[in-house]
A and B are shown apart, each in its own frame.
Chain A
Amino acid sequence: MTVNQLSIFLENRAGTLTKVLDLFKEAGILIIASSIADTAQYGLLRIICTDPQRAYHELERSGVAVALSDVFAIELDERPGQIAEIVRGLSEAQIGIVYMYSFFIRGKGLLIIRADKTEEARDVILRSSLRCVPEKELIDWQ
């Protein structure tokens, strides 16, 4: 029910992000959603892509500090209140959101959430009106 997200450590230096993005380009892997957690010293790039396993190996082979973590990719459509529904459900179940980000285009969107209690969060999402995108669907998710 969860998907693999790539977390990449980036130094705050010109060119570090380009190097990583070029690796995706060369491997022909599409980045579906991304976010950067920025600090004064470094950035943490999080990426949902069409082939996380292959991307992970490509990045690792190039010496990038990259980790795979389990996150929920929840499908969104045009109805308002969907994100609120998920967040309320988690909060009522005393589940913390470690981070989340979303992307939305032409009536279709993805909400990425990492929860501090993955198993419990799974139950909350299953009980909701929303659906998680399984990883195999990401390959042609567009």
Chain B
Amino acid sequence: MIWNPNKECMSRDEMSALQGKRLHKIVEYVYHNVPFYRHKLQEMDLTPDDIRTIDDIVKLPFTTKKDLRDNYPFGLQAAPQSEIIRIHASSGTTGNPTIVGYTRKDIGVWSECMARCLTAYGVGREDIFSVSYGYGLFTGGLGAHNGVEMVGASVVPASTGNTEKHAKLIRDLGITGIACTPSYALYLAETMEQMGITKDQIKLRVGAFGAEPWTEKMRDEIQERLGLKGFNLYGLSEIMGPSVSYECQMQHGSHINEDHFYPEIINPVTLEPLPKGQSGELVFTTLTKEGMPVLRYRTRDLCSLMPGDCDCGRTSVRMSPITGRSDDMLIIRGINVFPSQVESVVLSMKEFAPRYLLVVDRINNLDTLEVQVELRQEYFTATFDTPAAIDDLKRRLVDKLRSVLSINAKVQLKAPNAIERSQGKSVRVIDNRKLK
């Protein structure tokens, strides 16, 4: 099933024409409403009239996460505040989160894009669908939620946590679809097995999995253990949230909603655009966004755009699975974590040396984050001669990390100089997760 064949199955020429028209319009819009972009274009001696076709996109400047940070909180917002009806926030690289405001029209486009994803997965009005991404500042929960309502299925806003109750609901309500991270799906399967819930007692048949990279092997395991068909769901809050791209029944690459999000692949070092089939950094331009449109946003995700047509009938371009990052961002339980965020917290507490190590692992299918910090000798005074005082110091660090990272980290206190120094570039992250 296809939600919007008019857009999803457009001829390539029509699509290019539409993208060109929309690109011109969005450039004109940001030129007049976002000083940041106006200055950038003026510096490059460009006006909106220089952007006529979609191929002109290569003339435009890139936008980076740093630009979002430098313009915190509303510097890149194009619409007046009175038009913004929702604000989400995702991880920034340090201190400040990335703020994204949506107009009523943006929420409508988002729901439409999400409805296209769900329809491609085979979700319809008869389904009972549980959204098990976190509801809140993270775009996952509410983003998927709106789409499920749009297609008319019954949405169960399960969110995250309380897995046993969720498993019971899946069985008792006959829930047929679920959106969550792939690692949570495996954790759910394990919980069900421990509770004695078997595959034939549940009716799950569709899974929308995203917010973290996963592999074909994980897909096989999830499909086998939960008895469903698992589909990739890709998105990022800087562009919209979940629904930027989605797999169809072919499960071979994710179709990009390219009438709204125009993709490019570039060489992350030279910034030169790369042809289809070649792997590089994924870049998106929002073609219709009103709240916070971005031009050529560097996602830092590495993948390729796949050449050739898909057997499902959609003509939209597909992206390959994400193979890595061109920066040091980690994805832990679906949440983006930058080592620099941890650094800013550690540096803010004088009791710790400005040195740390992140140890990421996956235990029972759930990601864990351990932050190792060194006590600083000159601040280890008589105040700290009881475990209560040391534990209190540790708790302060845990609390600060939670408020900055939005996930719980375990803190491991180390003696001064106990964290191994490496030759040359310091190793700040040990990722023991094995994506099989």
Contact = CB atoms under 8 A, between A and B. Distances in A.
6 contacts: A11-B418, A42-B390, A42-B413, A44-B385, A63-B417, A66-B380
Contact of B377 (A10, A60, A98): A60
B414 A11 contact: yes
Given A9-B390, A39-B387, A60-B377, A69 B415 contact: no
A70 interface: yes
Contacts of A50: none
Contacts of B380: 9, 65-67
B82 interface: no
Given A42-B390, A65-B375, A7 B415 contact: no
A9 B386 contact: no
The prevalent SS among residues of A at the interface is: strand
A115 to B, nearest CB: 12
Contacts of B390: 9, 39, 42, 44
B412 interface: yes
B386 A44 contact: yes
A16 B377 contact: no
Nearest to B410: A41
A65 B417 CA distance: 10
A31 to B, nearest CB: 17
Contacts of B383: 67
Nearest to B414: A11
Interface of B: 375, 377, 380-387, 390-391, 412-418
B387 A7 contact: no
Interface of A: 5, 7, 9-11, 16, 37, 39, 41-42, 44, 46, 60, 63-70, 98-99, 114
Contacts of A41: 412-413
A67 B386 contact: no
A5 B76 CA distance: 58
Given A7-B382, A42-B390, 16 more contacts: A9-B390, A11-B415, A39-B387, A39-B390, A44-B385, A60-B377, A63-B415, A63-B416, A63-B417, A64-B415, A64-B416, A65-B377, A66-B377, A67-B382, A68-B382, A98-B386
Contact of B375 (A9, A46, A69): A9
